[in-house]
A and B are shown apart, each in its own frame.
Chain A
Amino acid sequence: MTSNPSPLNISRFAGCTLTGALSVTTQVRDAVTIIHGPKGCTHHNFSLLHATALDNDSVILPDLVSTGLTESDIIYGGEGVLERTLDAAAARPVSAIFVLSTCIVDVIGDDVAAVCRKDRNVPVIPVPTAGFLGGTFQNGVNNALNAVAQTAKPGVKGWCVNIIGEKNLEHEVNENFAEVTRLLTALGIPVNLRFLHQCSMNDICRLGAARLNILRDDEVRSVGEQLKKRFGTPYISSYPAGLEGTISFLESVAKKFGVRSSRAVRDEEALQDDLLAGFNDIRGSSITFDPAHNTSESFRIASKVAERIDITIKTHSGCRVPPELSPPVGTAGVRRMLHRWRRAIHA
């Protein structure tokens, strides 16, 4: 909980499994997602995905279909209406159909997986969800990633990495990806697949072709483990967090590929020094975070950055700066954080 209910403070990752899974499946451009449940569950999620995309400066109309469960379906069981909806979706030119379920479906015991097993001309991929009964937003994300991963087959590994479990709903999803790409480019390593961000079912076939998987953060570790088991791909469990984290990220990726990191590290350290020098105007200031965030990893990283430019973090009396909901990614993430501090200090 945060004390200040501003949009900045509201987590985009506190929905149920359905929202989590949708943040993954709606990234597959040529697939449709069926939500087995009442219309409202689809409506709210559609609105959320649409509004979030708009807020991130893109217009995405997710391809969602609701089974539109009514009271009568709930009393008599909803497997029939799911079957009809699946048949209708299979008649469309789509490459895959994802099937997600809502709370009520689990309450009445519809066997979603069994309905999905029927042979159709399109792959039907049920994602274990069941609304909040199936767990958290993150469980939904992980279950969706694991379900999609089942469609790819092991292949020959090339000189490249996959990005696993991007937070598609976060404001800075593309900036963060760009930062990681920049660091990888410094080591001469290209990205094979963003698993999953704006791709097609065909792209997903390449999932097994990377030498290393880079997880967005530790919350998708179970996906990293599953991919390791299935494709033998090792993983790094998080994006680079903060200044020191960026350096160690370069070192660990280089190590996994057996390349030298010294030059990339030296360049990055110089870049970081320049960055900090650019914020001399706020040296010596005092800042205060929302107390709810004071124990988080992002707070720890923010504190280290503050220390390097003589900024004091006070519990109450400092200039109030926006909280870091997740640790700043790479040197660029730290730059954006410092800009936010500067705006608050000079306001």
Chain B
Amino acid sequence: MVMKQIALYGKGGIGKSTTSANLSAALSLQGLDIMQIGCDPKRDSTRMLMHGSFIPTVMDLVRVRGEAALSLSDIVYKGFNGVRCVEAGGPEPGVGCAGRGIIATFQLLEKFGALRGDVIVYDVLGDVVCGGFAMPMREGYAQDIYLVTSGELMSLYAANNICKAIKRLSSRTKSTCRLAGVICNAKNQPSEEELVSEFARRVNSSLIQFIPRDRVVQLAELNRKTVLEYDPDSVQAAHYRSLADRIMKNTRFTIPTPLEIDDLESLAIEYI
């Protein structure tokens, strides 16, 4: 099987890390070899896969020990069901350049030949604020980009912005990066599924999975586990398994058509 590389992008706080961790867990339960890479200085992407512990980040290790002293086993940690976890890390808030940190991490992962397995899941910080955070979408990395959004306007706005980045990158020669679908991590608003589904259609994509809001996610998190581990028989776990299935079977990869802000607003008004 050809290695699949997918990246999740979306507004800060929308649930990318929760979705990524549960997706990685669900994929690993299909018997696949999974690697999840947290691309955010907050470094908490893989925490639920690691039973609540913060793993050392690539950037911290490079800083403390130096690149020459590092090997693959120093930066990759085995989590739930053998999911291999990596955190890029980065500077403290307000200093330095986190984007450059992502670029440096990718160079190091390349050098170590770490990017292997059946599926690599890139969990990327809030918005594509600079070239560094577009790194996972560049040639040789994630081909399938999933947008995580709720039905709230600001969340759709961020998703729409990310569409602009995907559009720019995907129109480059030899680029393999495509919009693969929209994941609705719901806030339980009325008509939310319809709204996000229509948004996905308008940006030339489709809603790949609707994940309703469920208390079990918070309970699992408080127990430092993914939902798949904490309560595998729950309805929510089934949603994540369904997401994993659909992602593996997905064949619709598009160049997105971002909306103008006015169109986005009138779309949101239609579904109030």
Contact = CB atoms under 8 A, between A and B. Distances in A.
A198 B96 CA distance: 37
**Residue in B62, B91, B98 with the greatest tally of chain A CB atoms within 10 Å:** B91
A110 to B, nearest CB: 8
Contacts, number: 40
Interface string B89-103: 011100111101100
B91 A77 contact: yes
Interface in B69-106: 90-92, 95-98, 100-101, 104
A298 to B, nearest CB: 43
Contacts of A76: 59, 63, 90-92, 95-96, 101
A109 interface: yes
Contact of B63 (A72, A79, A108, A109): A72
Contacts of A107: 97
Contacts of A91: none
A-side interface size class = 10 to 19
B237 to A, nearest CB: 37
A68 B95 CA distance: 18
A89 interface: no
A79 B104 CA distance: 20
A213 to B, nearest CB: 41
B227 to A, nearest CB: 34
A277 B92 CA distance: 73
A74 B100 CA distance: 8
Contact of B100 (A71, A79, A109): A71
A79 B95 contact: yes
B95 to A, nearest CB: 3
A1 interface: no
Contacts of A347: none
A71 B105 CA distance: 11
A71 to B, nearest CB: 6
A75 interface: yes
Contacts of A108: 95-97, 100
Contacts of B96: 73-78, 108
A225 to B, nearest CB: 36
Interface in A161-197: none
Nearest to A71: B104
A76 B99 CA distance: 11
Nearest to A73: B96
Interface string B33-72: 0000000000000000000000000010011000000000
A79 B95 CA distance: 9
Contacts of A75: 59, 90-91, 96-98, 100-101, 104
Contacts of B91: 75-77
A78 B96 CA distance: 7
B131 to A, nearest CB: 11
A153 to B, nearest CB: 36
Nearest to B62: A72
**Residue in B90, B96, B104 with the greatest tally of chain A CB atoms within 10 Å:** B96
Interface of A: 71-79, 107-110
Given A72-B63, A76-B96, A107-B97, 12 more contacts: A75-B59, A75-B96, A75-B97, A75-B101, A76-B92, A76-B95, A77-B95, A77-B96, A79-B95, A108-B95, A108-B100, A110-B95
Those 4 A-B pairs whose CB atoms lie nearest each other, nearest first: A77-B95, A77-B96, A75-B101, A108-B97
9 contacts: A71-B100, A72-B63, A73-B96, A75-B101, A76-B90, A76-B96, A108-B97, A108-B100, A109-B95
